[in-house]
Structure 1
Amino acid sequence: MKELYLTDCYVKEFDATVESVKDDKFIVLDNTAFYPNSGGQPHDTGMLVKEDGTEFPVNYVAKFGDNISHEITTPGLKAGDKVKGIIDWNRRYLFMKYHTACHILSAIIHNETGAKISGNQLGEDKTRVDFNLEDFDREQIKSYEGKVNEIIDRKIPVSIDIMPREEAFKIPSVVKLKDAFPPEIEDIRVISIPDVDTQACGGTHIANTGDIPHIEIIKIENKGKNNRRVYFKFVEN
């Protein structure tokens, strides 16, 4: 299966052939631009449309092994059917902006404190970043908001590169994740924001930081020993 979003996050529609159907609702295609629920980024939603115009809403997408399964709410698709996939673009684009903003905030937290990011979860109303930090200084963490917005205002191009394993591991910020990549993974997808952040990531991102609204840090939580959580949302520029 070809995952179109890995090389082009801006694919909104695509043509595909149904490869398999399970229980009349779990659809595997020969290629897809639907992002599966993974890495703290929620799945895409949208529609599969047959050549005769019949619509099959997609309400959940997940990856199982090498296959991406699209859960549809209306039965009727069969193996061999030709379909057009249509992404709910407003939802996808929002997550693209939040994901790139998450990379920027995570890079600032790491550069300022040395803290390692332990997780993140994108949402439609707000997004969170978890990190390991011994000293808990709310004012310091709140100050990162302005630094993120300054990077957004610099309108920095964001690039996606599929690199051979050996080349990717020469990047200091990627080599830290070395153990996360089994030996059979030969190519690694790297997201780069020049002078800000370079890291391996399978998610979708915008093409320029200037496309992200300003952020506001709305909540800072102490989740226990060395475990901190920051929530942020978008505000009008």
Structure 2
Amino acid sequence: MTRLIFRDDAYLREAPATVLAVSEAGVELDASLFYAQGGGQPGDTGSLVWDGGEMAIANTVKGEGETVLLKPAEGAATPPVGAAVTQRLDWDRRLRHMRMHTSMHLLCSLIKGAGVTGGQIGADRSRLDFDLAEPPTKEWLTEQLNALIAGNHPITTSWITGEELDANPGLVRTMSVQPPRSGGKVRLVRIGAEENPVDLQPCGGTHVAATGEIGRVAVTKLENKGKQNRRVYLVLEEG
């Protein structure tokens, strides 16, 4: 099991670790600063540095069980097993993913009652698909999203058991993918006050600490992707 440093502190940009294994599948550390691709969020990139070497990280993926594997860039050297390494995160890319991911939770809060049929977070553009006949207009969604962002609502996390989630199925918005369960527990991401949150749903991804950090966003396009499937595209306004 890899200890997930990013889960405790999504703002940490550098951290030490020890190499546990190296294989064609990737490099496994005892603790990962890097988020592993999943839930629509891309894997982090960055580098590992050790005495006498450096490895550029092209992607981070999930390994067997609850392990994280770092994929070296083509031609990059890999560290020896047992080496003490420093993990360095591509922070600018991660921060954009954090801002995008949080804004997508806000988008969910505006389209109430519609299941999420798919989604993809990108540094430049993201999308969410909803099981919905008629979505609101992109102008209305843009206005409401930016109002929520300007409210600077705090983002916090908590944990419940798998049994508690099963007893509250309405917390899960995704229709085809179940939220990750780590050791029988499920991580909840809350936007806003505990007693009356703007949004509350299971999520294993990284987020900003308050909605004001997202900056202005825009819904740029709505697409019909089937009889009951509507795709909503979202961008950060600075490009």
- TM-score normalised over the length of structure 2: 0.88
User: 2-side partners of 1:173 and 1:103: how far apart?
Assistant: 15
User: 1-side partners of 2:182 and 2:236: how far apart?
Assistant: 39
**Match of residue 71 from structure 1:** 71
Paired residues of 2:119 and 2:126 also in contact (CA < 8 A):
yes
Structure 1 position 180 matched with structure 2 position 173: no
Say which of 184, 198, 201 aligns to 2:200. Answer: 198
Paired residues of 2:22 and 2:78 also in contact (CA < 8 A):
no
User: 2-side partners of 1:79 and 1:233: how far apart?
Assistant: 41
Paired residues of 1:165 and 1:185 also in contact (CA < 8 A):
no
SS at match of 1:163: strand
Letter paired with 1:90: D
Q: What's the offset of the Cα at 1:51?
A: 3.0
Paired residues of 1:136 and 1:222 also in contact (CA < 8 A):
no
**Match of residue 34 from structure 1:** 34
**Match of residue 60 from structure 2:** 61
Superposition pairs of residues 138-149 of structure 1, within 5 angstroms: 139=137, 141-149=138-146
Structure 1 position 207 matched with structure 2 position 205: no
**Match of residue 84 from structure 2:** 82
User: 1-side partners of 2:147 and 2:200: how far apart?
Assistant: 18
**Match of residue 121 from structure 1:** 120
Residues 184 and 68 of structure 1: is their aligned pair in 2 closer, same or farther, counting only changes over 3 Å?
Answer: closer
Paired residues of 1:218 and 1:231 also in contact (CA < 8 A):
yes
SS at match of 1:180: coil
**Match of residue 4 from structure 2:** 3
Letter paired with 1:59: A
Paired residues of 2:47 and 2:87 also in contact (CA < 8 A):
yes
User: 1-side partners of 2:200 and 2:58: how far apart?
Assistant: 32
| 1:82-101 residue CA offsets vs partner (Å, 9 max, x unmatched) | 10001000000000000000
Alpha-carbon RMSD: 2.3
**Match of residue 16 from structure 1:** 17
Tell me whether 157-166 or 99-108 shows the greater mean CA deviation: 157-166
- TM-score normalised over the length of structure 1: 0.88
Letter paired with 2:201: Q
User: 1-side partners of 2:166 and 2:37: how far apart?
Assistant: 26
User: 1-side partners of 2:180 and 2:222: how far apart?
Assistant: 34
Q: What's the offset of the Cα at 1:182?
A: 8.7
Residues 132 and 14 of structure 1: is their aligned pair in 2 closer, same or farther, counting only changes over 3 Å?
Answer: same
Residues 17 and 185 of structure 1: is their aligned pair in 2 closer, same or farther, counting only changes over 3 Å?
Answer: closer
Mark the runs of 5 or more structure 1 residues left unpaired by the alignment: none
Superposition pairs of residues 80-119 of structure 1, within 5 angstroms: 80-110=82-112, 114-119=113-118
SS at match of 2:111: helix
Letter paired with 1:165: G
User: 1-side partners of 2:17 and 2:203: how far apart?
Assistant: 25
User: 2-side partners of 1:183 and 1:222: how far apart?
Assistant: 32
Q: What's the offset of the Cα at 1:7?
A: 2.2
**Match of residue 162 from structure 1:** 159
**Match of residue 129 from structure 2:** 130
